[in-house]
Structure 1
Amino acid sequence: MTQVPAKAKHHRSLFVLFITEMWERFGYYLMVGILFLYLTDNKTGGKGFDNKTGADIVGTFIALVYLTPFIGGLLADRYLGYIRSIFLGGILLAAGYIGLAIPGDTAMFVSLGLICIGNGFFKPNISTILGNIYNREELKPLKDNAYNIFYMGVNIGALFCNFAAAYLRNTYGWGYAFAAAGVGLILGLIWLATQLKHVKEGDIKKPLEKEDMPMSKIMLYVFLPAIVAAVIGWIIPGNLFGSDTNDAFMFACVPVIIFYVNIWRKAAGSDKRSIGALLFIFAISIIFWTIYNQNSTGLTIWAQTYTDRKVSGTTEQVAGKLGFLEKVTDSLRQTDKVDARLVPVTDTSSAIQAVKGKDLLLANGNLADSATRIVQVQGPDPYYNNVPPSEWPQGKTERLANTELFQSINPFFIVVLTPILVGLLVWLRKRRSEPTTSAKFGLALFISGLSALAMVFAVMSVPSVYTNKTAAYWLFITYFVFTISEILLSPIGLSFVSKLSPPRLTALMMGGWFLSTSLGGKVAGVMASQWDHFADKKIFFLIIAIAAFIGGIWIFARIKSLNAIVKERTGSA
Structure 2
Amino acid sequence: MAETLTTSKTAKHPKGLPYLFFTEMWERFGYYLILGIFVLYMIDPKDTGGLGFLDKSADDIFGTFIALTYLTPFLGGFLADRVLGYVKAIYIGGVLMAAGYIGVGLFQQLPMFYASLGLIILGNGFFKPSISTLLGNLYTEEPYRANKDAGYNIFYMGINIGALICNFVAAYMRNKYGWGPAFMTAGVGMLIGLVIFTLGMKHIRSANVMKPAQEGDTKLSTVLVKVFVPAIIAGIIGWVIPGNIFGSDSTDAFIFACLPVIFFYVNLYLRANAEDKKPIGALLAIFAVSLMFWAVFKQNGTALTRWANYYTDRTAPAVVEKPLEALYLVESKNYKDKEVPVYDEQFQAKKENGETVKETGKDIYFRNVNAEERAALEANPEKPNYLFNTELFQSVNPFWVIVLTPLVVGFFMMLRRRGKEPTTPSKIVLGLFISALSCLVMVGAVYAGGNGEIKVSSWWLIAAYGVITVGELCLSPMGLSLVSKLSPPRITALMMGGFFLSTSIGNKLSGVLASMWYSYEDKANFFWVNFGLLLIATLLGLSILKQLNKVMKEKGVN
Q: TM-score, normalised by structure 1?
A: 0.89
CA distance in 2, matches of 1:263, 1:134: 26
What whole-Å deviation, never above 9, does each CA across 1:84-129 have from its counterpart, x for those lacking one? 0000000001001111111322221111110000000001100001
Structure 1 gaps, min length 5: 345-376
Aligned length: 533
| Letter aligned with residue 447 of structure 2 | M
Task: Give the alignment partner of residue 249 of structure 1, picking from 237, 249, 254.
Answer: 254
> Which sits farther off after the overlay, 541-550 or 151-160?
541-550
> What is the CA-CA distance between 1:537 and the residue it aligns to?
0.9
> What is the CA-CA distance between 1:193 and the residue it aligns to?
1.0
Percent identity over paired residues: 51
Task: Give the alignment partner of residue 413 of structure 2, picking from 426, 432, 448.
Answer: 426
Counterparts in 2 of 1:68-467, with a 5 A limit? 68-103=72-107, 104-328=109-333, 333-334=337-338, 339=342, 341=344, 381-384=363-366, 386=368, 394=381, 397-465=384-452, 467=453
Matched residue, 2:69: 65
Matched residue, 1:374: none
> Which sits farther off after the overlay, 114-123 or 546-555?
546-555
Matched residue, 2:497: 511
Matched residue, 1:369: none
What whole-Å deviation, never above 9, does each CA across 1:44-75 have from its counterpart, x for those lacking one? 31111111111111110000011010011011
Q: Does 1:472 align with 2:458?
A: yes
On the 8 A contact 1:27/1:185 being kept in 2, the answer is yes
Q: Does 1:521 align with 2:503?
A: no
On the 8 A contact 2:98/2:186 being kept in 1, the answer is yes
1:55–1:545: structure 2 CA closer, same or farther, 3 Å change rule? same
Matched residue, 2:3: none
Q: Does 1:9 align with 2:9?
A: no
CA distance in 2, matches of 1:382, 1:483: 30
| Letter aligned with residue 39 of structure 1 | M
1:517–1:379: structure 2 CA closer, same or farther, 3 Å change rule? farther
On the 8 A contact 1:290/1:521 being kept in 2, the answer is yes
1:543–1:322: structure 2 CA closer, same or farther, 3 Å change rule? same
Q: Does 1:572 align with 2:557?
A: yes
1:343–1:32: structure 2 CA closer, same or farther, 3 Å change rule? closer
| Letter aligned with residue 86 of structure 2 | Y
Matched residue, 2:36: 33
> What is the CA-CA distance between 1:137 and the residue it aligns to?
3.3
CA distance in 1, matches of 2:557, 2:197: 33
Task: Give the alignment partner of residue 474 of structure 2, picking from 483, 488, 491.
Answer: 488
1:413–1:107: structure 2 CA closer, same or farther, 3 Å change rule? same
Q: Does 1:545 align with 2:526?
A: no
CA distance in 2, matches of 1:266, 1:543: 37
> What is the CA-CA distance between 1:386 and the residue it aligns to?
4.3
> What is the CA-CA distance between 1:312 and the residue it aligns to?
3.0
> What is the CA-CA distance between 1:227 and the residue it aligns to?
1.2
| Letter aligned with residue 75 of structure 1 | L
1:497–1:98: structure 2 CA closer, same or farther, 3 Å change rule? same
CA distance in 2, matches of 1:37, 1:452: 23
CA distance in 2, matches of 1:522, 1:397: 39
On the 8 A contact 2:136/2:484 being kept in 1, the answer is yes
CA distance in 1, matches of 2:58, 2:557: 45
On the 8 A contact 2:98/2:187 being kept in 1, the answer is yes
1:380–1:494: structure 2 CA closer, same or farther, 3 Å change rule? farther
> What is the CA-CA distance between 1:315 and the residue it aligns to?
2.5
> What is the CA-CA distance between 1:251 and the residue it aligns to?
0.8
> What is the CA-CA distance between 1:541 and the residue it aligns to?
1.0
On the 8 A contact 1:341/1:378 being kept in 2, the answer is no
**SS of residue matched to 2:549:** helix
**SS of residue matched to 1:423:** helix
On the 8 A contact 1:298/1:524 being kept in 2, the answer is no
Matched residue, 1:50: 54
Matched residue, 2:484: 498
> Which sits farther off after the overlay, 503-512 or 101-110?
101-110
1:314–1:507: structure 2 CA closer, same or farther, 3 Å change rule? same
> What is the CA-CA distance between 1:297 and the residue it aligns to?
1.3
> Which sits farther off after the overlay, 206-215 or 511-520?
206-215
Provide the alpha-carbon RMSD of the alignment: 2.1
Q: TM-score, normalised by structure 2?
A: 0.92
CA distance in 2, matches of 1:301, 1:460: 17
> Which sits farther off after the overlay, 71-80 or 7-16?
7-16
1:334–1:164: structure 2 CA closer, same or farther, 3 Å change rule? closer
